[in-house]
Copies of this chain bind each other. A is one copy, B any other.
Amino acid sequence: MESLDRIKIVLVSTSHPGNIGAAARAMKNMGLSELTLVAPAEFPSGVAVGRAASALEILEKARVVETLTDALADCTLVIGASARRRSIPWPMLSPEQLGEKAVGESAAGGRIALVFGREDSGLNNEELQLCHFHVQIPANPDYSSLNLAAAVMVICYEVRKAYLAAADQSSGEGQTGRGREKEEIRLEENWDQPLVSGEQVEHFYAHLERVLVAIDFHDPDNPRQLMHRMRRLFNRIRIDEMEMNILRGILTNIEFNLKDRE
């Protein structure tokens, strides 16, 4: 069960404490235990306790933080729930693909955050840009807005399915699964360097933005969507530590060689 402990559920600005309790119950039903709450409207809450039923200990050890960035600081893979198509499309996963990716990354030692937004409006654009992937639950186009705890249930269910399938495979049972997915998981396990955390990636974006300003490529007063596109580009790569050192080194050398520095 160890590898499911590396997958946490993050609920952002939840309005109704009942949903927090119901999400905790769904998590425990599916074997997940790590819950982080970003600026909940009401917590702790008796309503949450009632809906959690026998998953009380998940509420008791839930971490409460101020910002999503705090919640993601130690994470190597971040997947956010998104109900709508965005103007700039982001790499998308089905819930099934999410389960496989989260379990594979977790088995390889990563830390994974599955992020859910507000009941009424979901995650905002800034929050969605902190994600490597977005996940969309296939829903009736006439009414695609799931209850928050229902969405957590579906996602945790797919995580458990992937977890059981992986346990099945490693116990040497017959391979009915798809070779391609297994290959992806293996590539992650075989990587030669540890992957960087969300915090390190945020430092990189800040450094990149300073350099883009210094070379007159970026005007923060008229940002257009430059940093948005840069985030989308680099979030599609899972950057490892050596690569991060190289990228930061390149930025430092650029700054050092700028004519304004003379």
Query: Chain A residues in contact with chain B, CB under 8 A?
Result: 22, 25-26, 28-31, 51, 53-55, 85, 87-89, 91-92, 94-97, 137-140, 142-147, 149-150, 153-154, 157, 160-161, 164, 178, 180-181, 183-184, 187, 190-192, 212, 214-217, 226, 229-230, 233-234, 236-239, 242-243, 246, 249-250, 253-254, 256-262
Closest to A249 in B: B217
Chain copies in the assembly? 2
Cross-chain contact of A53 among B145, B192, B217, B239 (Cβ < 8 A): B145
Asked if A29 and B257 sit within 8 Å, CB to CB, the answer is no
A137 to B29, CA, bound (A): 10
For A94, list chain B residues within 8 Å (CB).
180, 183
Query: Would A217 and B153 count as touching, CB distance under 8 A?
Result: no
Evaluate contact between A143 and B88: CB separation under 8 angstroms.
Answer: no
- What are 21 A-B interface contacts by the 8 Å CB criterion? A22-B147, A26-B147, A26-B150, A28-B140, A28-B142, A29-B139, A30-B140, A54-B145, A88-B192, A89-B192, A138-B160, A138-B164, A150-B150, A153-B154, A154-B157, A214-B257, A233-B239, A257-B258, A257-B259, A259-B259, A259-B261
Complex contacts, A262 vs chain B, CB 8 Å: 259, 262
